């Protein structure tokens, strides 16, 4: 049998530190998106547009999706190192 069948990923339970890391990664993703997306306000607008930097619905969905991928990787990496 392959040794990869017995490998287990260490998971961490939710706590306020995990939430803070995820929120920080999403804020970082919004800043990166604000600086790099050329046409941020094309398409359907958000109800509180100025609160989100004037980004459209599609731009905000894209950057928060990127933020969650970034956050999941960061949380897994920090938990693997024993920080979280």
pLDDT at 60: 87
Taking every pair of C-alpha atoms in the chain, what is the biggest distance, in angstroms?
56
Q: How many residues does the chain have?
A: 84
pTM of whole model > 0.75? yes
Please give the C-alpha separations between residue 49 and each of 14, 45, 72, 79, in angstroms, as whole numbers.
30, 7, 27, 35
Ordered mean pLDDT values, 10 residues apiece, the chain (84 residues): 64 90 94 87 73 79 94 91 86
Query: Residue ranges per domain, the chain?
Result: 19-35+51-84
């Amino acid at each position: 049998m392959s040794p990869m069948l017995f490998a287990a990923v260490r998971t961490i339970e939710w706590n306020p530190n995990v939430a803070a890391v995820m929120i920080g990664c999403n804020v970082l993703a919004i800043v990166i998106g604000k600086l790099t997306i050329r046409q941020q306000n094309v398409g359907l607008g958000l109800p509180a547009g100025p609160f989100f930097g004037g980004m459209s619905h599609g731009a905000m969905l894209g950057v928060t999706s990127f933020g969650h991928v970034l956050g999941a990787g960061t949380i897994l990496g920090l938990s693997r190192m024993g920080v979280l």
